[in-house]
Amino acid sequence: MDLILRKMRHDKRYTHILNKDYLTDVSNAAPLHDIGKISTPDSILQKPGKLTDQEYAIMKEHAAKGGEIIQTAFHNLKDPEFRRIAYEVARYHHEKYNCKGYPDGLSGEQIPLHARIMAIADVFDAVSQKRCYRDAIPLEESFAIIEKGSGTDFDPNLARLFLDAREDVTQIVQESFPPVS
């Protein structure tokens, strides 16, 4: 997430929004994006195989529930801008650029910028790291998923910034998750 934000600072499309407070708020809100999963049963979160349609419907509820949790837990927070950003990251990080995401079916720039950034970081992390239901996908295939989803799943400008930072991303992944021997 922070890497995409750093790359955005050099793109004139984003200079009007990328002030220090915004960068700090988005960076601090990012770890809260999946907070709604605390309301998802472990039997679904840790299921080793494919989810049924019913289980997937329950899993998808985590985005809306995450937004609700942020609103409830942070209602007295003295920083309304951070509260808004955290809410939007949690609620909208599964919206797709082509309006086929959830929970609200937003599209394009209806999706808050920080949620569009989180969508890329979240999907890349989800596919490139080992999960209880599957092994990690190789990095080149993980990058290909982002590239294929550019313009449909992801904001094409943000996807391009991410893909142009392939070497940096690879280095971060390798430093953060060294191979197990």
pLDDT, tens only, 54-107: 999 999 999 999 999 999 999 999 999 999 999 999 999 999 999 999 999 999
User: HSE (CB half, 13 Å, CA atoms) of 33?
Assistant: 24
The answer to whether the CB of 65 falls within 8 A of the CB of 85 is no
pLDDT confidence of residue 131: 83
* pLDDT computed for residue 133 by the predictor: 76
For residue 68, report the phi and psi dihedrals to the nearest 5 degrees.
Answer: -65, -40
| 113 C-beta neighbours (distance < 10 Å), count | 18
Backbone region of residue 79 per phi and psi (left: phi > 0; alpha: psi in -120 to 50; beta: other values): beta
In the chain the domains, ranked by start, together with CATH numbers, are: 2-176 (1.10.3210.10)
